[in-house]
Amino acid sequence: MSIFWISLGQGLAVAAILALSSVAFTLEYAVSRVVNLAHGEVLTIGAFAAYVSETTFHQSIYVCALVATIFGSLAATAINFVVIERFRNQKSLATLIATLGASLVLQNLLLIIFGGASLSYTFSQGNLLHVGPFLWTTLTIEVMVSAVIVAILIYLLLQRTRLGKALRAVSQNRELSQVSGIPARAVVMQTWAVAGAISGFAGFLYGETVGTISPSIGNGFLLLSITAAVGGGLGRPYATLGGALVLGLVMSIAGTYVSSAYQLVIAFGFLVVMLLLKPNGMFVRGSAQMVRA
């Protein structure tokens, strides 16, 4: 039973990071109606930016996190500016294919710059702590606390700021909000910057929790983020947050009984069940019907 609780604790940490990553993914979808397959690369860029600032410039863990956030934000803004906005008047599938091309380019640029080998941060993992039935390191707790803080910040941004209000309006109807005097293009751009910042930070947390980073870490995490977002409710930040927590728990509970190598297989099973039962997301009201994005 104790192994169960330990892996559940580890699952909570991964779920916290997954929540950030998939909320960023869903925000991008909300304003641009695009499934951004280059989302994983934004995470990777954040992780590598932190790596460079740690190993080359010997910065503290907080500065590294900030650098990851900034670079993630820049990367996502660039993706939006160079790819997404250019395909805005085309069908969603064309944009999806274009982001796939962008993902290939970015991932392999990272591969050329940093090589294919796994790299790792040298931050201390801290002490082992028993918290209730869980077994966590100080670092894991810091990761979870910071993820919760970011989630609260996202909530405040969406509900209490002008940008959040405009964002929600644009996500419901871009043309109509444009007509009502909201600078839709700028709002979309800022949303991508915010989403990128969250992704970059999530990428840093992920690299820190897993221990090693390589140009392809974002790719595996992309699929989990998509699953969480679609399972919870694509384009809806709070539903996605719930979806990410459920998926994280499902994976960690299942992970105690089968090898963690099957993580993505489990995630896919979860995705299929969700798509068959609640294609609009488990936290979205509405019956199962034809889903088109």
Partner 1 sequence: MLQYWTAILTEASIFAILALGIDMIWGWAGDFDLSAYAYFALGVYMTMVMTIGKPQAPVVYILGWHLPYPIAVVLAVIVVVAFASVVGAIALRSLREVHFSITTLGAVWAIYYAVENYTPLFNGYNGVYGLFDPLGGGLSYNSYHYLFLGFCLVVLFVVYLVVQRLSTSPFGRMVRAVRDDERAASVYGRNVFWAKYRTYLFGAGLAGLAGGLFAAYIGAFNPLDWKPTEIFVLYAAILVGGRGNPKGVVLGTFVVYVGFVEMTRYIPSPAARPELGPALRQILIGLLIVLMLKFRPSGLLPERLGNDGTVARRSWPERLFRTSPTEGDAVTSATAETGGEVAS
Using CB under 8 A as the criterion, which residues of the chain lie in contact with partner 1 when the complex forms?
35, 83, 86-87, 89-94, 96-98, 100-105, 107-109, 111-112, 115-116, 220, 223, 226-227, 230, 259, 261-265, 267-269, 271-272, 275-276, 279, 288-293
Q: What minimum distance in Å lies between the beta carbon of 185 and partner 1?
A: 19
> Which one, 101 or 126, has the nearer CB to partner 1?
101
Contact present, 31 and 187 (Cβ < 8 Å)? yes
Distance from C-alpha of 102 to C-alpha of 33, rounded to nearest angstrom: 17
> Which one, 93 or 156, has the nearer CB to partner 1?
93
β-pairing, 128-131 vs 134-137, is antiparallel
> Which one, 95 or 209, has the nearer CB to partner 1?
95
> Which one, 53 or 103, has the nearer CB to partner 1?
103
Q: What minimum distance in Å lies between the beta carbon of 130 and partner 1?
A: 32
Q: What minimum distance in Å lies between the beta carbon of 178 and partner 1?
A: 21
> Which one, 3 or 290, has the nearer CB to partner 1?
290
Residue type, 60: S
> In this structure, is the dihedral angle defined by the CA atoms of residues 225, 116, 50 and 70, taken in order, positive or negative?
negative
Q: What minimum distance in Å lies between the beta carbon of 279 and partner 1?
A: 6
> Would you give the DSSP letter of residue 260?
G
Contact present, 270 and 254 (Cβ < 8 Å)? no
Distance from C-alpha of 163 to C-alpha of 20, rounded to nearest angstrom: 19
Distance from C-alpha of 121 to C-alpha of 96, rounded to nearest angstrom: 33
Q: What minimum distance in Å lies between the beta carbon of 88 and partner 1?
A: 12
> Which one, 94 or 176, has the nearer CB to partner 1?
94
Question: Can you tell me whether residue 131 is helix, strand or coil?
Answer: strand
Q: What minimum distance in Å lies between the beta carbon of 119 and partner 1?
A: 14
**DSSP element (H, E) containing 137:** strand 134-137
